[in-house]
Amino acid sequence: MTDLLSLQGLTKAYPGVVANDDVSFTIAEGEIHALLGENGAGKSTLVKMIYGLVKPDSGAMQLFGAPYAPPEPRAARTSGVAMVFQHFSLFEALTVAENVGLGMEDAPPMGQLSREIREVSHAYGLPLDPRRLVGDLSAGERQRVEIVRCLLQDPKLLIMDEPTSVLTPQEVEILFATLNKLKAEGTSILYISHKLEEIRALCDGATVLRRGKVVGSCDPREKSAAELAELMVGEALTPPERAPAAHGEVVLHVAGLTSEHVDAFGTKLQNVGFEIRAGEILGIGGVAGNGQDELLSALSGETIGPEETVRIRGEAVGHLPPNARRLRGMLTAPEERLGHAAAPDMSLTENGILSGWQRQDLTRAGFLRRGAARTFAEEIIEAFDVRTPGPHVAARALSGGNLQKFVIGREILQQPDILVVNQPTWGVDAAAAAAIRQALLDLASKGAAVLVISQDLDELMEVSDNFAALNAGHLSAPRPARGLTMEQIGLMLGGAHDMDVADPAEAHHIKEIYEEGHS
């Protein structure tokens, strides 16, 4: 196979850290190539250099055998390199066509662009209506907008960063079919994901980074997920284990929870109800945008409502704000790390104070106890292996995975009676994800009630005692997680809450209907 992109000795250093150290590898034409590594391994810096967002300190790149050094993303796109980012860059108040046009260098007239969107999206199995507002689209449909915007520019190399984190199993199958079609047409794909089974199923080759250096390359189809994880972290991973424990009394009871959406394009909760006992982990799955943020906001107290809708150990707290609920033992960790779970420009010590000042006794007579706050931050950093020079570092300076470990650790070390977490391991590497899941299991084993909201179905099946699905603000009745199949889960995520999905024929029929609606 002919090399499409060649990297030779790429190095990029920042104050106190070498992000990429003499990185070299090649991507062939028509190859789906995985880039693997822990959080902080240097993956993001590397793809930013390829896409023209960051200039390397040394080293060189070649595209189709010619020197390649894009000074900005526009030059990369002109050269045939496109990128679909993990976080979508779309305007919710604009239509699909308007969003696509904004991302193009020389967008054609809107009528012509709309025709091209329809043609290309249908040709690649990602149908879109160019007239629809992006704010009304599901997470999977929004990702289609990003991909189609790239495809309209006829890329030769498509970089994809965590592309399946917001998709149902059925939507993942559709995406993989699209990527394989692109591969057959000669397009190369650089694929970043922490979902190792996906890497094994999709990719032809893989390059593994560890602390900025290339430590190996392989054909992922010839490796197990455990072997790939070991390459990434340098040691064998121990699967999370849970000490056996009986469930106790009901600690959190939710009934008739109906709330308005958090923003103009959010999802209204519709009569949500469930309960969690001491020592139990309830997993709630759902595609992004189906009410997860609204549910966490209603439970945390950021959104208040009728007092009877939320009860902690029998006490009605639906009308109480966050601090009052935290004093009663219910702690939460939202999905958005920067700006919601953590203040970007504040130090880790200060971010520890934000949610821990009451339960950790970090104030005295109205004054902060700086020494105690610093000690609390240091305890989080040590207990959860947060890779950082120290507690004085600003939150925004940490990689996404390390900040996530700090945020989760901050809540767990406060020993909550109830912990509600949204996307606890989103974008986190295999080792860190295993550590976070083990911490959640340990917390439940000590008698806490844990609610895990996640789009990672493997994660939910690994830690949950019971599972429920959130779809368009409606929550299905919880079912025992043990024994649920991926097809059953996929149907629940698609809104088939009230059917007996144990009937294979009926399940297959509904699955076809659901997939038809997403094709």
24-50: per-residue pLDDT in tens?
999 999 999 999 988 778 898 999 999
380-400: per-residue pLDDT in tens?
999 998 888 899 999 988 877
pLDDT attached to residue 166 = 67
Task: Give the best-scoring range by mean pLDDT among 117-131, 313-327, 414-428.
Answer: 313-327
Q: What is the mean pLDDT of residues 167-194?
A: 88
DSSP, residue by residue, 398-410: S-HHHHHHHHHHH
Does 306 have pLDDT greater than 80? Answer: yes
Tokens of 9: 């000795």
Pick the CATH number of 3-233 from 3.40.50.11750, 3.40.630.10, 3.40.50.300, 3.50.50.60: 3.40.50.300
Displacement of CA 116 from its chain's centroid (Å)? 31
Give the CA-trace dihedral at 431, 205, 455, 252, to 10 degrees.
-20
Q: What is the mean pLDDT of residues 414-434?
A: 87
pLDDT attached to residue 377 = 95
Percent of the chain whose predicted confidence (pLDDT) is above 70: 92
Report CA Rg, the chain: 23
Cα torsion 110, 115, 118, 122: sign: negative
Does 302 have pLDDT greater than 80? Answer: yes
Report the mean per-residue pLDDT for the chain. 87
Give the residue with greater pLDDT, 437 vs 427.
437
Does 345 have pLDDT greater than 90? Answer: yes
What's the pLDDT band for 501 if we cut at 50, 70, 90?
Answer: very low
CATH topology of domain 238-329+417-484: Rossmann fold (3.40.50)
Q: Which of 269, 293, 254 is nearest to 471 (CA)?
A: 269
Percent of the chain whose predicted confidence (pLDDT) is above 90: 57
Q: 293: number of CA atoms within 13 Å, CB side?
A: 15
186: how many CB neighbours lie within 10 A of its CB?
A: 12
pLDDT attached to residue 269 = 93
pLDDT attached to residue 40 = 76
Does 405 have pLDDT greater than 50? Answer: yes
pLDDT attached to residue 261 = 60
Give the three-class secondary structure for 18. strand
Q: Which of 231, 216, 240 is nearest to 38 (CA)?
A: 231
What's the pLDDT band for 516 if we cut at 50, 70, 90?
Answer: very low
232-261: per-residue pLDDT in tens?
888 776 767 776 667 999 999 999 999 866
Phi-psi region of 256 (alpha: psi -120 to 50; beta: other; left: phi over 0): left
Does 273 have pLDDT greater than 80? Answer: yes
- The answer to whether 242 and 266 are in contact (CB under 8 A) is no
- Give the contacts of 491 (CB within 8 A, at least 6 positions apart): 499, 501, 507, 510, 511, 514
Does 502 have pLDDT greater than 70? Answer: no
- Angle, vertex CA 227, rays to CA 221 and CA 232, nearest 5: 105
- The answer to whether 487 and 512 are in contact (CB under 8 A) is no
pLDDT attached to residue 245 = 65
Q: What is the mean pLDDT of residues 487-500?
A: 68
Strand partners, 50: none
Q: Looking at the whole model, is its pTM more than 0.75?
A: no
**Every domain range in the chain assigned CATH 3.40.50.300:** 3-233, 238-329+417-484
